[in-house]
Amino acid sequence: MPARFALFIFASIVAVASTGCEKPEPIPIVDITKDYDRPLPPGQFALRKLDPTEYPDFKDAWYKAKGVGLREAIAASINYMNKPSSRKYYPLGPITHEQVLASLNQFNQTLDQASTPEMLDQLIRDNFDVYMSIGCDDEGTVLFTGYYSPIFDGSKEPTEQFKYPLYKLPPDLQKDEEGNPVGGAYATREEIETSGMLAGNEIAWLGDRFQTYVFTVQGSGFIRLPDGTLYEIGYAGHNGRDYKSIGKMLVADGKIAKNRLSLDTMIRYFQENPDDLETYLYQNERYVFFNEAQGGPYGCLGERVTPYHSIATDKEIFPRAAIAFLDTRVPLVPGESMRPFRAFVLDQDRGAAIRAPGRTDIYMGVGDEAGKHAGFTYSEGKLYYLIAKSTTGGPSVPDMMAEQARPASPADTASTDTMKATYEESSSE
């Protein structure tokens, strides 16, 4: 889903979740000294094929798997993989385009056949190879955060109430097919917002300065117009500048305690300290541009993302559109307690701050409730990918290690963030 504001945002837990029997757990303590953003070492594959004795327990995900959300997400991935343009991103290490597409169809059949949690678990063990992300430490540790689609009050025209603009893609900014600038970086956030250089190129106006920032980091969302209708705007491109997390800066400067960082605390901080707003905003030079959209929100595959069933990963090292399984925790009561979250997801998005095997962002839905839960999600866990055994038989992972250093396609290399920047503002950049 375009550039998102990774504030810890993992949320919308109601949408895909609950069996109603999960017990609350205390807020997890994440080891902030770990380098979750450690890049993948050259020549190394981001996934390790597991021995069947190492497979996770898939039974807890059965209840969520029976909902329509997972089927919709699988259908979106299949639709993407059937497009000729999807082939240019494969092979990825030992994983081929044909394997991913066949695995999606095989998993649909598995869902049809599984009438109990135990049957689902056994069918996966019988029919799929399981690969685990090596994580930030080669032991599979992944930091999970979340993102969402905001809904803010605004207008298509400037008014006394709505005077802070969001911009369309500038006419003089040439971009590639994934929204990345061609020919070098464009103007910085500060230059765009203070020079008037894009006057006449506005797409909407909001009533709060920080909300415009959230939108440009989140990358897409909805504006509630004065007549009550929702106006959807989506990701159109970015200025090619590096993303820098305001949340991390606030913690580093002692403005907000690291264990209290969330979107709400950031909003309160800037309400109480308005003079600090520009100081911090302009340190993040990245800016996202928008276009009118319908039917979204969409991820970087150009497919609609599904709450709790779509994830964002580093698309240069993980197989896009593939079926995956995650095991982590998300908020039960935001800021107070957590619950286990084990679910099947589809790899359908990317984030500017999600650029390592130790990072994954979960899409959590639309609106304030999704944002509240997302704002308090920041947990370690494991990430697995499922590849149907009927499609395997080519080179093993070790055999492919040397080939993994292959150059990425121009579109991939240019688009380290195509549809998002992560709601990293409070923890997860």
**What average pLDDT does range 81-88 have in this prediction?**
96
Residue 407 confidence (pLDDT): 35
Above 80 in pLDDT, residue 5? no
Residue 123 neighbours by CB distance under 10 Å: 18
Closest C-alpha to 405, from 42, 89, 92: 42
CA distances from 376 to 12, 30, 164, 336, 349 (A): 11, 12, 27, 9, 21
Give the total residue count for the chain. Answer: 429
Instruction: Retrieve residue 246's tokens.
Output: 């305001």
Taking the C-alpha atoms of residue 35 and residue 83, their distance in angstroms, rounded to an integer, is 36
Residue 335 confidence (pLDDT): 60
| Average pLDDT over all residues of the chain | 83
Is residue 422 very low, low, confident or very high in pLDDT (cuts 50, 70, 90)?
very low
**What average pLDDT does range 7-31 have in this prediction?**
38
Is residue 339 very low, low, confident or very high in pLDDT (cuts 50, 70, 90)?
confident
Residue 67 confidence (pLDDT): 85
Residue 26 confidence (pLDDT): 44
φ, ψ dihedrals at 8, nearest 5°: 95, 35
Taking the C-alpha atoms of residue 78 and residue 140, their distance in angstroms, rounded to an integer, is 27
The order of strands in the sheet holding 288-292 is 164-167, 202-206, 151-155, 221-224, 230-238, 288-292
| Max CA distance (Å), the chain | 65
Taking the C-alpha atoms of residue 305 and residue 366, their distance in angstroms, rounded to an integer, is 11
Give yes or no for a contact between 354 and 10, defined as CB atoms under 8 angstroms apart.
no
Instruction: Retrieve residue 29's tokens.
Output: 């303590």
What percentage of the chain has pLDDT greater than the value 90?
58
CATH architecture classification, 1-19+34-429: Beta Barrel (2.40)
Instruction: Retrieve residue 114's tokens.
Output: 């599984």
Give yes or no for a contact between 121 and 58, defined as CB atoms under 8 angstroms apart.
yes
Above 50 in pLDDT, residue 424? no
φ, ψ dihedrals at 95, nearest 5°: -95, 125
CA distances from 78 to 301, 313, 321, 343, 417 (A): 11, 18, 8, 19, 22
Closest C-alpha to 142, from 50, 16, 40, 252: 40
Give yes or no for a contact between 397 and 45, defined as CB atoms under 8 angstroms apart.
yes
User: For the purposes of burial, counting CB atoms within 10 Å of the CB of 102, is it exposed (0-12), middle (13-18) or buried (19 or more)?
Assistant: middle
**What average pLDDT does range 184-194 have in this prediction?**
93
Report pTM. 0.79
CA distances from 9 to 6, 138, 214 (A): 6, 25, 12
